[in-house]
Chain A
Amino acid sequence: MCDELKVIERVLNGDTDAFGILVKRYEKQIVNYVFRMIGNYQDALELSQEVFLKAYLALKSYKSEYSFSTWLYKIARNRTIDFIRKKKLNTVSIEGKGDEDGLKPQYEDSGLRPDEVYEKKRRAVLVEKAVAKLPEEYREVIIMYHVDGLKYEEISDILGLPIGTVKNRIFRARKMLKDMLEGEV
């Protein structure tokens, strides 16, 4: 955190290259969040680049009362919601995981045995599809909590909601998923 503030200070003092350190640190989380929200890998990469560009341009307005990641997520969330509204995506398509001719996402190596991989993959596909069907406000908390591994407090800061509401939303979302996936996982 302290180290992060130093990097931000360097960027604000004119060391543009130092911003690359922050991009490297958060690229995975932001790309995963955007991808799970919109369901298209190519668009997710472009949108994530815009998020970082916007963060760079607005860096002067960053106040250290929040962590940098919270601030970055706020930008990513606003940009993603704009994108979804423009495209009128109420739910996302994970079927093709992107355009047919577009860039296909590469998944990280899970380090599991082939039989474990098969079962895990089957379950993951079912869950991914179910998550994609969740309404936007439930989908985002599930992605932040389970995919990006954010804490309740962080999600609460990003969304500007009390922690109780965040916990409640996550619980409701899990309940919806439980109903959707009854007997399948």
Chain B
Amino acid sequence: MKKICGLLEDYLMENLDEKNRKLFESHLDECESCRKSVEAFSKIEQSLNSIPKVSVPEGFSASVMEKIYERKEKVLGWYVYGIVAFLSFAVSVVAVYLLGFDYVAAKVYSVASTVYAFASSFSVALSTLSGSLYNSIDFGGLNGVVLTFVFVMICFGFAKSVKIFTREVK
């Protein structure tokens, strides 16, 4: 009898072969202790099987796919940057080879000077404009606060525009 009671754990773990399983099941009619244990475990199993399943929101798979496309676009973007960088480098090498270093360097210097001149004039225009605006409006004691606010708003606008222009499009 005791020997058969020792099969309880294996019975509950479904480890018994057909013969021992039948033997143990017929033993359950005689042994109250084993029967109570089996019943208690069976109740726990039933309760575990009744744990409710949560449902998945309607758009779940759509948002997964959206994330996948975003990721793909991002990877594609890096490929494009890589290709552009490589082509620029290749064109530079070819240009230096065909036209000579001095000629290319002079051209690069000339382009850089033009860009610098444009940036300087733009900066002067901007500071003149902002200076005129600043002087024409009397903010009184609020000047500092207002300017700080305007500066923050400009930064915010800039950050937003960067976000919009760099957003991956599906």
Using a CB–CB cutoff of 8 Å, the interface residues on chain A facing chain B are 16-17, 19-20, 23-24, 27-28, 31-32, 35-36, 41, 44-45, 48-49, 52-53, 56-57, 105-108, 110, 120, 123-124, 126-128, 131, 142, 146-147, 164, 167-168, 170-171, 174, 177-178, 181, 185
Give bound CA distance, A35 to B51, whole Å: 12
For B44, the chain A residues whose CB sits under 8 A away are 174, 177-178, 181, 185
For B71, the chain A residues whose CB sits under 8 A away are 53, 56-57
Give bound CA distance, A45 to B56, whole Å: 8
Q: Is the interface of B mostly helix, strand, loop or mixed?
A: helix
Establish whether residues B49 and A146, one from each chain, have CB atoms under 8 Å apart when the complex forms: yes
Establish whether residues B54 and A127, one from each chain, have CB atoms under 8 Å apart when the complex forms: no
Establish whether residues B65 and A23, one from each chain, have CB atoms under 8 Å apart when the complex forms: yes
Q: Which residue of A lies closest to B41 (CB)?
A: A174
Rounded to whole Å, the gap between the CB of A14 and the closest CB of chain B is 10
* Interface residue count on the B side (C-beta < 8 Å): 32
Establish whether residues A131 and B51, one from each chain, have CB atoms under 8 Å apart when the complex forms: yes
Rounded to whole Å, the gap between the CB of A177 and the closest CB of chain B is 5
Rounded to whole Å, the gap between the CB of B84 and the closest CB of chain A is 24
For B102, the chain A residues whose CB sits under 8 A away are none
Establish whether residues A178 and B56, one from each chain, have CB atoms under 8 Å apart when the complex forms: no
